[in-house]
Amino acid sequence: MTGKMKFLGLACLAGLVSALGFAPLGAWPLTILAFAALLWLLEGAASLRSALARGWWFGLGQFVLGLNWIATAFTYQAAMPAWLGWVAVVLLSLYLAIYPAVAAGLAWRWHGGNRIALVLLLAAAWILGEWLRATMFTGFPWNPAGVIWVGVGGVAALATWVGTYGLGAVTILAAGALFLLARRHWRSGAALAVPILIVSLLPYPLRVTEPAGPPRPLVRIVQPDIGQQDKWQPGFEQANFERFVRLSGTPGAEPRLLLWPESATPYYLAFDPEARRRIAALLGPNDLLLLGADEPILDDHGRSIAAYNSAFVLRPDGSLAGRYDKAHLVPYGEYLPMRPLLTAIGLSRLAPGDLDFRDGPGPRTLDLGPFGRAGLQICYEIVFSGETVDEAHRPDFLFNPSNDSWFGAWGPPQQLAQARLRAIEEGLPVIRATPTGISAVIAADGAVEQSLPLGAEGAIETRLPRAAAPTLFAGWGNLLPFGFALLLVAAAIAVRRKAR
């Protein structure tokens, strides 16, 4: 093996190790160690091309392992062999690795041989790279580097000031501390390491305490444990509905907000009053039900030409009180780019059906009366930092109905971790309802108050957590991580000038 190939192999190995810090493993110190290895590899790069290659191989290793759940998703498409799922994981990773490569190239190009500047510039460039990954070609911001800090003392709280992408820069700075200490830059390494270490040992500082007063609204989350293989099978409709009814419980004297998962019913609710009345029969006179259902788009002849992935508010009388249409759709899952070509070669879609979904207008707040104001984010929309809340109508909580039943063992805990980051950033509780787990009640500080594990049937009945005051991020959004990036760049320039 040539020296060049050896270093590229080490970069890929470091990327694989970095993915161990993501859920469900949560070995976050290994992620920091892996990024320190990336800095060492970049320091030794002899050219811009070499730095780009090392960043790309690092990204490839991280995404191939971290996104392994996508391979499981392909097993639910009968027209595709199971091995094709791993082909999809690799192909997607080949593309996503471009963004770490860009970050690595920018840092190497401008660090001027200064190790401290290399650390600061990679942290700044990582913010840019992750934001681009979340934006380009509809975006895929899954597993940002900052998500490793969820649950690690007070570090995740920094997201209220610098957002998720800024928290990724904190990951690079922590790795930079190790890198600099290993290179005997004692003062600079300690200057980075000590503050992060102290914050990681502190409890979360912004816990929302419940003041005295009337009790918070009662919510009940239903997790029916209906797998993707049974969701659309003929003959399963009645059994699935009966499971939802049983888990929804019996109405009591106190009003309840029932929460069902994404695509909980196969009925087209806007066009089927009988189905609405049938479902509404399980509600008490003051209850409301939030549930997911597809909604067809009809042409002038009444034929379905597309659909929305929607969430509806259902009243006890069977009428609809509100609706949200999913805005961030999943390419190749909910719509098919180049459909005629890919259909011809058998790659029609991952999800059942022949119609593409269309995107909705974006974040919307629904007024649920005594239950407060709900912001809706369907399934993987919750992973888009800074794009989850209608800023003009701040909600009291975010509801994230999802269908994680085809995400394997790694996808659901990863999505839960990212939902916790949204709670921290916005200072809002997040309620997740999924068919097979992980359903959860997440407080405004990101703490999981209650949850149902993968593969479990059950329900959570609890009080709706209280929202915190709007955070700095809630007001400024992703301007904050870009401001943080500019500060890092300015610090790198100052370091280089001082070294001269």
Active site residues: 262, 326, 379
Distance CA 375, CA 461 (A): 20
- Measured between alpha carbons, how far is 16 from 4 in angstroms, rounded to an integer? 19
Farthest-apart Cα atoms in the chain, separation: 77
Number of H helices, E strands in the chain: 16, 12
Residue 26 falls in which region: left (phi positive, over 0), alpha (psi -120 to 50) or beta: left
Could you give the CA distance from residue 449 to residue 298 in angstroms, rounded to a whole number?
42
Residues 6 or more apart from 382 whose CB is under 8 A from it? 388, 398, 400, 402, 415, 418, 419, 422, 430
Q: What's the rounded Cα separation, in Å, for the pair 465 and 471?
A: 16
CA distance 255 to 258: 10
CA-to-CA distance for 362 and 44, rounded, in angstroms?
A: 45
CA 457 vs CA 248, 270, 379, 498: distances in Å: 12, 28, 19, 61
Distance between CA 234 and CA 246 in Å, rounded? 21
DSSP code of residue 447: -
- C-alpha 56/C-alpha 459 separation (Å) is 44
From residue 20, how far is each of 83, 115, 127, 226 by CA, in Å? 23, 26, 21, 29
3-state secondary structure of 491: helix
Query: Which residue's structure tokens are 């040992």?
Result: 201
